[in-house]
Amino acid sequence: MTEHTPPNYSPHSCKPDPEVHIRYTPEQGEVSHWDFSWAQPWTNTWTAALAFVPASLWASVIQDIHEKQSLAGAWVMAGAGLTVSVVRFVQKNTWPRRTVLWIGVLGAFLSLPVFDTAVDVMTGGAR
């Protein structure tokens, strides 16, 4: 038989003390479920007011398409403009992009029969 020799440890050796790291993060206050800060009412009001003149120009373009082509063509043009402005606005929320979005929205509401079309779509009827 072979003899097994124990490792050469000193009798009083022990592992070093572990390091403990504590990170303190203060508690957040209660979050209100009625937080409408994303709406930015004053920013939207001023932007809509400033976008009204260019929106009337965009509305005249859409109305011209409506008269010379068709209502469907006017909806496609207004929808394309709104789609591009919404996509660009979502990519980066800046004041000029918000203004262009308001121009598209106001132009569509000023020139197209939005409410009549919404009623026709919801009821499935055409006049």
pLDDT value at residue 127? 59
The model's pTM? 0.66
| CA distances (Å), origin 89, targets 40, 68, 83, 108 | 15, 31, 10, 17
Q: According to the model, what pLDDT value does residue 60 have? A: 95
Instruction: Quote the strand ranges of 2-127, DSSP E.
Output: none
Would you state the pLDDT for residue 24? Answer: 84
Split at pLDDT 50, 70, 90, the class of 126 is: low
* Averaged pLDDT, 11-20: 69
pLDDT at 5: 65
Please tell me the distance from the alpha carbon of residue 101 to that of residue 95, in angstroms, as a whole number.
Answer: 10
- DSSP class of residue 24? -
Which residue, chain included where needed, has tokens 């569509």?
Answer: 108
Integer Cα distance of 56 and 104 in angstroms:
10
